[in-house]
Amino acid sequence: MAVRLKDMLKREPILSSGHRMCAGCAAPTVVKLMGMALRGPTIVCEATGCLEVATTIYPFTAWKIPWIHVAFENAAAVASGVVEAINAMRDKGRYKDEQVDVIAIGGDGGTFDIGFGALSGALERGHKFVYMVYDNGAYQNTGIQRSGGTFPGQETTTSWAGKVEPGKRQRKKPLAEIVAAHKIPYVATVDPYHYRDFITKFRKALEADGPAFIHAFSPCPRGWRSDTSKSIELAKLAVETGLHPLYEVIDGKEWIMSGPSKRLKELRPVDEYFKTQGQFKHLFKPEWAEFRAWIQEEVLKDWEELKRKCGVS
């Protein structure tokens, strides 16, 4: 699907303005981009999270397509039920639409952590649906607690930075890789800056013959303590520093690096990314220089490994 800006702007947005998301939050942009990739009737099943709570409360209810809030841990399971019930109804001739797409959405907490079991189960069973995680790097909705999606060095209210701790010490869970290991038809990482890449991939996900997974990077000025006008730039920077490389994985075996990542001659230093956010400020203290260097090393190692998988030299 070729994406042209002119065509995109003609699409009716699936999320209206006037919702209650924070200033500068990238999640509504992520959802609007998703909306531009839709091919017809679509149902959204959404886990508890910022996006759920802030886009639905009356009178700020913003969704223009059928939408169901599920609990925190089960977006993929509810979507499974929706898909299979529609199939059953269609077989009986009681469902008219030939084509209904089902999308499950969760934040990083609802996907990397509490919803992971439900996600893995749905992928194994092979329902035809798309799961999209909007990853803002922490439980931002409850007030910025660390999650499996939190980067090392990130300070949150349950991974404090101080004299003895540099924020979160652990690596970020390699979720897209874990999902790809289920050998589902389609996995892709996206970000809202590279909108053509985003929409093209989302459409591929919808057209995949089986479960598909989209990992969307979503800057959060409130939690990250970053400038509200810089969110889309931060998404770009995350790609350029290798913190959120863009790629696709087909059937769990064919790894394809996407243009914006592939075109990078070399990665920019992670320091450039860290400097833009209050949540990494402490890393520039002398006592964390070594830890910061370790993060950089790990990012470079992961980058080399990804290039090898994608056959990029």
Q: Is 160 in the site for another protein (CB under 8 A)?
A: yes
Using CB under 8 A as the binding rule, the residues of this chain from 26 to 55 that contact another protein are 48
Report, in Å, the least distance between residue 62 CB and another protein: 18
Report, in Å, the least distance between residue 193 CB and another protein: 29
Stretches 113-121, 217-225, 229-237, 277-285: which one binds another protein (CB under 8 A)? 113-121
CB-CB neighbours of 141 under 10 Å = 20
Report, in Å, the least distance between residue 78 CB and another protein: 13
Q: 148 or 252, CB closer to another protein?
A: 148
Q: 61 or 145, CB closer to another protein?
A: 145
CB neighbour class for 79 (10 Å; exposed up to 12, middle 13-18, buried from 19): buried
Report, in Å, the least distance between residue 169 CB and another protein: 12
Q: Is 240 in the site for another protein (CB under 8 A)?
A: no
Of 162, 164, 189, 160, the C-alpha closest to 260 is 189
Report, in Å, the least distance between residue 139 CB and another protein: 5
**Tokens 């914006």 sit on residue:** 260
Q: 139 or 273, CB closer to another protein?
A: 139
Report, in Å, the least distance between residue 111 CB and another protein: 11
Q: 140 or 261, CB closer to another protein?
A: 140
Phi, psi angle pair for 107, to nearest 5°: -80, -175
d(CA 234, CA 227): 10
- Cross-sheet strand order for the sheet of 67-69: 67-69, 42-46, 101-107, 130-135, 212-217, 186-190, 247-250, 254-257
Per the omega criterion (within 30 degrees of 0), is the bond before 59 cis? yes
Of 186, 208, 206, 188, the C-alpha closest to 197 is 188
Q: 139 or 288, CB closer to another protein?
A: 139
Q: Is 157 in the site for another protein (CB under 8 A)?
A: yes
Q: Is 20 in the site for another protein (CB under 8 A)?
A: no
Buried b (16+ CB within 10 A) or exposed e, 26-50: bbbbbbbbbbbbbeeebbbbbbbbb
Q: 52 or 248, CB closer to another protein?
A: 52
Residue type present at position 3: V
Number of residues that bind another protein (CB under 8 A): 22
Q: Is 139 in the site for another protein (CB under 8 A)?
A: yes
d(CA 305, CA 103): 30
Which one of 5, 164, 263, 286 is in contact with another protein (CB under 8 A)?
Answer: 164
Q: Which residues contact 254 (CB under 8 A, 6 or more apart)?
A: none
Binding mask 64-103 for another protein (x = CB under 8 A): -----x-xxx------------------------------
- DSSP, collapsed to helix, strand or coil, labels residue 169 as coil
Name the site residues for another protein (rule: CB under 8 A): 48, 69, 71-73, 109, 112-114, 116, 139, 142-143, 145-146, 148, 157-160, 164-165
